[in-house]
Chains A and B, each alone.
Chain A
Amino acid sequence: MKKMLAAVLALTALFAAGCGRAGDADGSSFAPPEERRLVIYTSHKEEVYQPLIREFEQRTGIWVELETGGTTELLEKISQGGTDCDLMLGGGADSLSAYSRCFSPYRSKYEDSVRPEHRSADGSYSPFSALPVVLIYNTKLVRMNPPAGWKSLLDGAWRGRIAFADPAVSGSSYTGLCTLLQALPGDREELLKEFAANLKGRLLSSSGEVVGAVAEGSCYIGVTLEETALKGMAEGLDIAIIYPEEGTSALADGAAVVAGCAHEDNARSFIDFMLSPEVQQMLEEDFSRRSVCGSGEGLEALKLIDYDIQWASEEQGNLLSLWKEQFEGAEE
């Protein structure tokens, strides 16, 4: 009896569950095959990656899946393995070379047009765009004698009026500091102390605040990336750019194919696309960035120092502790 009841109930439940989804389209026939897929991790902003990826998709018909995040976070994920990532897009040349073991070397067909200083030694990554460090000043507050170069940052005239982000926090600020130390002659530690003293205890907590601090007049001059400054100018802020007369650095960011990824060919064709003349040209026209290719006119015109990436990364610990020390001294 109980068995019969149970059977009836089971039958009922079966019927109830059976009223499933009728008529749903089968999406699987619309999904692209594996050879037309590409998974990209990027630390770029949407305004940079969106047009690139859309154009890439339209040209090649490859479906791009995207995951965004911070450079360190994404690289860490890739290095731990187990991701489906094919291509890491974004991150400075120094960061990418630090994780070179995770990437499979590739030399693009456009490699020859890339400026030699931006090429990676082992081909583990390909450069995408160059980001020069520049000085900016407030055009309303500084009418006469704008700063000329790195030396101005040590000038007592700007004492306490310099917008500079904490290099312990901001990567671009650290690059700025190293550029200053490498561009100016003399003992680098002394230069660091001198510069720290000239800040008069004033440090911004992030690199994003530099343009704002100069534009609103709380600082007269500042150190930032050209891209950020150009965007500020495009928004109509009262700032102007100074390319230091001693020369400046233009570190590249890049992209790298993840070793052992599922869609390596597609990842490589994205790198080719990224280094193609049209994209490199667009970097300067639309993205306020510098092309890493020789054909780009802007970077040729800039006076660049021979920036020593290796020294910068080796000395990072020393320099930052010295900086901190100096800084605490300056505060007292």
Chain B
Amino acid sequence: MITWIKSSFRNRIFVTVLLVTLLPMLLCDVFVMQIAIGSSENMLYQQAMGELEQLEEQLEILLEQADTVTRELAESTVVRSALRRGGSDSKLLYQFLYQMSAQLRDYAVAEVYDGEGCRLYSSDSSPGELRLPTGWGALRAAGESRELCMQADSEPGLTMTRAVRSYDGGILGYILIRVEGTGFDSLLGDSFDSADDVFLLDGTWRQIYCSDSIHTRERVEELREALLAGRELGDGYYSVYLRSLGDSGFTLALIQPRIYTPAVMTSVYYACLMMGLLCLVLSLVCAWMLSRYLSKPVKELDAAMGRVEKGDYNVELFSDRSDEMGRLSSSFNRMTREYRQNLERSVQHERELNETELSMLQAQLNPHFLYNTLDSMKWLGVTNHVPQVAAMATGLAALLRAGISGDKLIPLEQELELLEKYLDIQSVRFEDRFTWETDIDESFQHCLVPKLILQPLVENAIIHGVANMDDGYIKLSASAEGETLVLAVEDNGQGIAPDVLEKLKDPQREMPAGHLGLRNVDRIVRLYYGREYGISAASAPGRGSRVELRLPLGKKEEENA
């Protein structure tokens, strides 16, 4: 993975862009979710606390009122004397009962029982006959205490009892205040959100009141079981908030539905995941495209540089961009162009230098002196009957003249004549141990070729080919390949060594001594006509060789034009 990233400029860009687009998105995602959930939970918590506060206040007021009312009733002479007298017809007591319980009557019933547990008076509209056991439940508890006794009723509700005692402590009767579910509804209904549920539980968590009238029993039981088993009271769907209610021993429980239930969380996570995937795909595409856009010119530049390094200075980059990359491309183009011009200039310079050197040589060796000397040698040969000397001197003179004459390009016809003179001289030197043949079509006779270009090839064929043979054979032929003139020199000599052949193919490599002629020809041709021209050689050891020279097919007239 890391090597893959490091291998390319483009991969680096790709990975960086991917990370830079994806990571902040993921982090934002998570943080926003956290904050949303946290703040909503906190808000719900605050709300629940507020509701509990209010509920507690309402209940405390209720208990306080009940305490006051029962105390005043229990201690009043009216009640005591009415209970002592018996019967349930004391108008005075009713008056007092109504008066006292006025503030409670909206949600509670106040009743007076005699010492036997029979109901005598009630603030309820139509009380029936009722007898409560004095040894059981609320009346027993009140009988054993001097304070207000509060108990959960078996019919869900709250019963508050206080014994009415005579001055000697004997029980005359009981004051009882009962609050049922509907009473609690009207008392507490405004203090909490309708989505929440409120439980009022007694000391052992038995229900006094539950705002959920449908599943009352089960839910209170569930809560109690969870508490006893030491389990968490709330679950994924509900939060449970508890508060102890003063010294009554009661517990107030607020059940609040959660917003982020497991189902909601699942869909939130799902949405986040989908969003993440979408972003991943988008980031991938963007990163891919951006990295390609950025790296393309660099890659092109890299490739062009590679070609330049191999010596190809004709490289041009095309870019329509106006940014740094575009400028870089045009700078590169300018650089190669200048390099090319420099090269041409230096070639030109060298050529001029060569010409100057040659003219200096020409100036130093006065040609007329050489001609006259050679002419004298010729006549000496004739007069002394040594015709070979005469022929050699004539040939050498012709070659010398051609060598220093002004024209650089001469028709093939003329080149062949010069070559014949050269071969004549060589025949003398090698005592006719080789024969040679020219097979050149009439149509090529007027093609222009560099002066004395074929001489090194033939020399090569003689010296490295047929020199040590008795029946050497050299053949010169010409053909055309499109606009290219191919001149071939073949021999049946010992061939060119494979390493020399190899080196000949690569213009950059040094040729071994003795083979410089071929390389020079190659270089001159390339410099004159371009890289597609030059020399190519084929050879098999012991079976001769074939050297081809490729030149543009140019006629004399065209050259002049």
- Give the CA-CA distance A16 to B203 in the complex, in Å: 39
Contact with A along B410-447 (1 / 0, CB 8 A): 00000000000000000000000000000000000000
Contact B136 A1 (CB under 8 A): no
- Give the CA-CA distance A16 to B136 in the complex, in Å: 55
Contact B242 A25 (CB under 8 A): yes
Contact B154 A23 (CB under 8 A): no
> With A12-B30, A27-B242, A54-B154 in contact, do A2 and B230 touch (Cβ < 8 Å)?
no
B536 → chain A, closest Cβ, in Å? Answer: 53
B511 at the interface (CB under 8 A from A): no
Q: Which residues of B contact A281 (CB under 8 A)?
A: 135
Contact B26 A8 (CB under 8 A): yes
Contact B2 A1 (CB under 8 A): yes
Residue among B38, B42, B135, B204 making CB contact with A64, cutoff 8 Å = B204
B1 at the interface (CB under 8 A from A): yes
Contact B241 A25 (CB under 8 A): yes
Q: Which residues of A contact B244 (CB under 8 A)?
A: 30
| Residue in chain A with minimal CB distance to B223 | A27
- Give the CA-CA distance A1 to B157 in the complex, in Å: 66
- Give the CA-CA distance A12 to B27 in the complex, in Å: 7
> With A19-B34, A51-B154, A65-B228 in contact, do A58 and B240 touch (Cβ < 8 Å)?
no
B409 at the interface (CB under 8 A from A): no
Q: Which residues of B contact A12 (CB under 8 A)?
A: 26-27, 29-30
Q: Which residues of B contact A21 (CB under 8 A)?
A: 41, 234, 239
Contact with A along B504-536 (1 / 0, CB 8 A): 000000000000000000000000000000000
B44 at the interface (CB under 8 A from A): yes
- Give the CA-CA distance A18 to B37 in the complex, in Å: 10
| Residue in chain B with minimal CB distance to A26 | B242
B141 at the interface (CB under 8 A from A): yes
Contact B38 A19 (CB under 8 A): yes
Contact B227 A27 (CB under 8 A): yes
- Give the CA-CA distance A139 to B23 in the complex, in Å: 89
Q: Which residues of B contact A1 (CB under 8 A)?
A: 1-2, 5, 15
B159 → chain A, closest Cβ, in Å? Answer: 10
- Give the CA-CA distance A121 to B275 in the complex, in Å: 77
Q: Which residues of A contact B204 (CB under 8 A)?
A: 32, 57-58, 61-64
CB < 8 Å A-B pair total: 104
Q: Which residues of B contact A235 (CB under 8 A)?
A: none
A331 at the interface (CB under 8 A from B): no
- Give the CA-CA distance A21 to B44 in the complex, in Å: 11
User: For the complex, would chain A's binding face be called helix, strand, loop or mixed by DSSP majority?
Assistant: helix
- Give the CA-CA distance A28 to B242 in the complex, in Å: 11
Contact A58 B251 (CB under 8 A): no
Q: Which residues of B contact A27 (CB under 8 A)?
A: 226-227, 232-233, 240, 242
Contact A57 B234 (CB under 8 A): no
Contact B240 A25 (CB under 8 A): yes
A-B contact pairs, 28 of them (CB 8 A): A1-B1, A1-B2, A8-B23, A15-B30, A15-B31, A15-B34, A16-B33, A19-B33, A19-B41, A22-B38, A23-B45, A23-B239, A24-B240, A27-B226, A27-B232, A27-B233, A27-B240, A30-B227, A30-B244, A37-B228, A55-B137, A57-B203, A58-B137, A58-B141, A58-B203, A63-B204, A63-B228, A277-B135
Contact B1 A282 (CB under 8 A): no
A205 at the interface (CB under 8 A from B): no
- Give the CA-CA distance A76 to B483 in the complex, in Å: 115
Contact with A along B31-52 (1 / 0, CB 8 A): 1011001100110110010000
B interface residues, Cβ below 8 angstroms from A? 1-2, 5, 15, 23, 26-27, 29-31, 33-34, 37-38, 41-42, 44-45, 48, 133, 135-137, 140-141, 151-152, 154, 202-206, 225-228, 230, 232-234, 239-244, 249, 251, 260, 269, 272
> With A15-B34, A30-B251 in contact, do A2 and B269 touch (Cβ < 8 Å)?
no
- Give the CA-CA distance A28 to B226 in the complex, in Å: 10
B366 → chain A, closest Cβ, in Å? Answer: 82
Q: Which residues of A contact B137 (CB under 8 A)?
A: 55, 58
Q: Which residues of B contact A23 (CB under 8 A)?
A: 41-42, 44-45, 48, 239, 241
- Give the CA-CA distance A54 to B42 in the complex, in Å: 38
Q: Which residues of B contact A2 (CB under 8 A)?
A: 1
A35 → chain B, closest Cβ, in Å? Answer: 14
Contact with B along A35-61 (1 / 0, CB 8 A): 001000000000000110011011101
A190 at the interface (CB under 8 A from B): no
> With A2-B1, A30-B251, A63-B228 in contact, do A24 and B44 touch (Cβ < 8 Å)?
no
Number of interface residues of A (CB under 8 A): 35
| Residue in chain A with minimal CB distance to B46 | A23
A53 → chain B, closest Cβ, in Å? Answer: 9
A157 at the interface (CB under 8 A from B): no
Contact B241 A31 (CB under 8 A): no
Q: Which residues of A contact B228 (CB under 8 A)?
A: 31-32, 37, 63, 65
| Residue in chain B with minimal CB distance to A4 | B19
A73 at the interface (CB under 8 A from B): no
By Cβ-Cβ distance, the 10 closest A-B pairs, closest first, are A23-B45, A57-B204, A19-B37, A27-B233, A25-B242, A278-B135, A22-B41, A15-B30, A25-B241, A63-B204
| Residue in chain B with minimal CB distance to A60 | B204
Contact A16 B151 (CB under 8 A): no
Residue among B226, B232, B251, B260 making CB contact with A19, cutoff 8 Å = B260
Contact A24 B34 (CB under 8 A): no
Contact A28 B230 (CB under 8 A): yes
A211 → chain B, closest Cβ, in Å? Answer: 26
A1 → chain B, closest Cβ, in Å? Answer: 5
Contact A61 B203 (CB under 8 A): yes
- Give the CA-CA distance A277 to B136 in the complex, in Å: 11
Contact B151 A58 (CB under 8 A): yes
Q: Which residues of B contact A22 (CB under 8 A)?
A: 38, 41-42, 45
Given contacts A23-B45, A27-B242, A277-B135, 13 further A-B contacts (CB under 8 A): A8-B23, A19-B34, A24-B232, A24-B233, A24-B234, A24-B240, A25-B241, A30-B244, A51-B154, A54-B152, A57-B203, A61-B204, A282-B133
| Residue in chain B with minimal CB distance to A22 | B41
Q: Which residues of B contact A15 (CB under 8 A)?
A: 30-31, 33-34
**Most B Cβ at <10 Å: residue of A19, A24, A28, A30:** A24
Q: Which residues of A contact B241 (CB under 8 A)?
A: 23-25
| Residue in chain A with minimal CB distance to B138 | A58
A324 → chain B, closest Cβ, in Å? Answer: 44
Q: Which residues of A contact B44 (CB under 8 A)?
A: 23
Q: Which residues of B contact A59 (CB under 8 A)?
A: 141
Q: Which residues of B contact A57 (CB under 8 A)?
A: 203-204, 206
| Residue in chain B with minimal CB distance to A9 | B26
- Give the CA-CA distance A30 to B244 in the complex, in Å: 8
- Give the CA-CA distance A1 to B1 in the complex, in Å: 8
| Residue in chain B with minimal CB distance to A31 | B227
A88 → chain B, closest Cβ, in Å? Answer: 19
**Most B Cβ at <10 Å: residue of A25, A55, A64:** A25
- Give the CA-CA distance A24 to B226 in the complex, in Å: 14
Residue among A58, A277, A282 making CB contact with B152, cutoff 8 Å = A58
Contact A278 B41 (CB under 8 A): no
Q: Which residues of A contact B205 (CB under 8 A)?
A: 63
Which A residues between 135 and 177 are near B, CB-CB below 8 angstroms?
Answer: none
- Give the CA-CA distance A173 to B242 in the complex, in Å: 51
Q: Which residues of B contact A19 (CB under 8 A)?
A: 33-34, 37-38, 41, 260
